[in-house]
Structure 1
Amino acid sequence: MHIYLYEPRADRLNGLMAELRSARMKPVPIQANFFRGELGLLNRGGHEDRPFLLAENPDLLDQIAALRAAGCSNPVLVMRDFRNSRDTAAALDAGADDDIVIPVKSVELKSRINSITRRSHGHAAESVQVGEVTAYFDGRDPEISGQVVKLSRREHAIFQQLVLNAGRVVSKGAIYDAVYGMSEEQPFDKVIDVYICKIRKKIDQSAESGHNYIETVHGRGYKFAPAPEVAAAPMARAGGM
């Protein structure tokens, strides 16, 4: 998981970077001038789930407002040294999704981010069921027809992008950006195809119905969906009903 991190204090930045990396997150340090750039680029497919972790600073409200004014729906979490109800309310009213007091353990931070992300995609519970597939948003491997299917870290990241957008086509570029980050030269065609092939094979081997859950939509990308007879009914949210 990539996470944009704004912390102008060098001593705090190093500690936060280490804490985030311990939870297998990929912090991307940003500077104040980031918020004066072309923020609309964050609306590209695959970038909208990338959270912002912003340290309390004099320009905080302007930074949040700039993100929201550019149409960015990314999760925004604010970090404070001390609780201040008035400032917290102002940040939330400006468009922040959460406001936390540091220090905070990476495991809690990751759960807060996952909660915001899955709700933004319409999933209130910690997991979602698509046909025979139960996908978890807390890092656990999925279950297919009741069996746990082991995925590598990168396979899991790609799988989650597909499941979060179940029923919709996700482009290769969006998957690549969500997993690898922005790059001038993106060899996503080959890389994503290889990983999709591995994930599809693992799911297909475990699904008792024999249904191919990952459909290749030529020229557009991939779609994760249940068998037609299952798709006719609403997808069930595991643990939610």
Structure 2
Amino acid sequence: MRAYVFEPREKRRASLAAELENVGLKPLFVGEEFFDTGLAPLTQPGCEHRAILIGESVNTHKQIRTIRASGCENPLIVLRDFRNSTDTAAALDRGADDVIVSPIKGSEVFSRINSIIRRSHGHASESIVVGEVTAFFDGRDPLVSGARIKLSKREHSIFQHLALNSNKVISKNAIYDAVYGMSADQPFDKVIDVYICKLRKKIAAAAESGAQYIETIHGRGYKLSAPEDYELPSVETITPQLSLQARA
């Protein structure tokens, strides 16, 4: 997951970068000019998941207004040094999604970004179920027919983007931008097709139905959805399983 980070105090950047990178976040530190010239790309499809983290400064509220006025709806979190209920309320009222107070921990930042993203897609819980597939939004690999399947970092990024938009068609360009948009070494054009193929094979191998779950919509993109002939488990099937889980 990628994040733009404005931290005006140079001495704090190294420790903040270490915290973010330790949980899989890829920070790109920006300066004041970012709020004047760098916001336009974030309004493009595929870029809506890139978080913006703003370190505390005298311009914090102005920066929040500028971000939201540009049409940018990305997760926006303010990083504060001390608790200040009045200032926190003002930041939230101006468009910030959240405020985190020092000490800043990467795991907390990561979880709060994930929470903002999944709620923006209409998912209140930490996971969704699509047929035999259970997709998690907290970094865990998915379950297929009750078994965990191991995904690489790239596979996981692509799968999560599809899961967040389950039952919707997502273009290859949107997936590509979400996964590689800020990378300096962008790969060849067919890379998304390759990863989609790998994901299908892993899901089909684990699914009792043998279904691949990721459908190609020619000329439009991909869609994660249950097969049309998939039937939900009956109450009789679910109840014994729940009883066994409760005993465990």
Normalised TM-score (structure 1): 0.91
| Aligned twin of 1:169 | 169
Assess if the C-alpha contact under 8 Å between 1:173 and 1:188 holds in 2.
Answer: no
Unmatched segments (≥5 aa) in structure 2: 233-248
Please give the alpha-carbon distance, in whole angstroms, between the structure 2 residues aligned to 1:221 and 1:231.
25
DSSP-derived class of the 1:17 partner: helix
The residue type equivalent to 1:149 in the other structure is I
- Relative distance call for 1:182 and 1:21 in structure 2 (3 A) is closer
Structure 1 residue 191, shift from structure 2 partner: 1.0
Q: 3-state DSSP class of the match of 2:134?
A: strand
Change (3 A) 1:214 1:96: same
CA RMSD of aligned residues (A): 1.8
| Contact 2:203/2:211, CA 8 A, preserved across alignment | no
Runs of 4 or more, structure 1, over 4 Å off, are 183-188, 229-232
Deviation at residue 172 of structure 1 after TM alignment: 1.4
Q: Residues 18-167 of structure 1: matches in 2 within 5 Å?
A: 18-37=18-37, 39-167=39-167
Matches of 1:171 and 1:188, distance apart in 2: 16
> How far apart are residue 229 of structure 1 and its match?
4.3
Q: How far apart are 1:94 and its partner, in Å?
A: 0.4
For CA contacts below 8 A with separation 6 or more, give which structure has more relative contact order.
1
Supply the distance in 2 between the matched residues of 1:52 and 1:212 (Cα, whole angstroms): 35
Q: Distance in 1 between matches of 2:213 and 2:62?
A: 43
SS in 2 for 1:189: coil
Deviations, residues 52-78 of structure 1 (Å, cap 9, x unaligned): 111111111121111111211111000
Asked if the contact 1:3/1:50 (under 8 Å) is kept, the reply is: yes
Give the drift of 1:189: 2.7
Shift in Å, 1:137: 0.8
Q: Does 1:225 align with 2:234?
A: no
In the alignment, residue 49 of structure 2 is paired with which amino acid? D
Instruction: Judge conservation of contact 1:53–1:76 (CA < 8 Å) in 2.
Output: yes
SS in structure 2 at match of 1:79: strand
More divergent stretch after superposition (210-219 vs 54-63)? 210-219
Cα deviation, residue 151, structure 1: 0.3
Using the TM superposition, give the Cα deviation of residue 39 of structure 1 relative to its aligned residue in structure 2, in angstroms: 2.2
Shift of 1:105: 1.5
Identity %: 59
2:188 is the counterpart of 1:194: no
8 A Cα contact 2:2 2:182, kept in partner: no
Correspondence for 1:237: none
8 Å contact 2:80–2:102 — kept in the other structure?
A: yes
* Shift, 1:186, TM fit: 5.2
3-state secondary structure, aligned to 2:65: helix
In structure 2, distance between residues paired with 1:101 and 1:184: 32
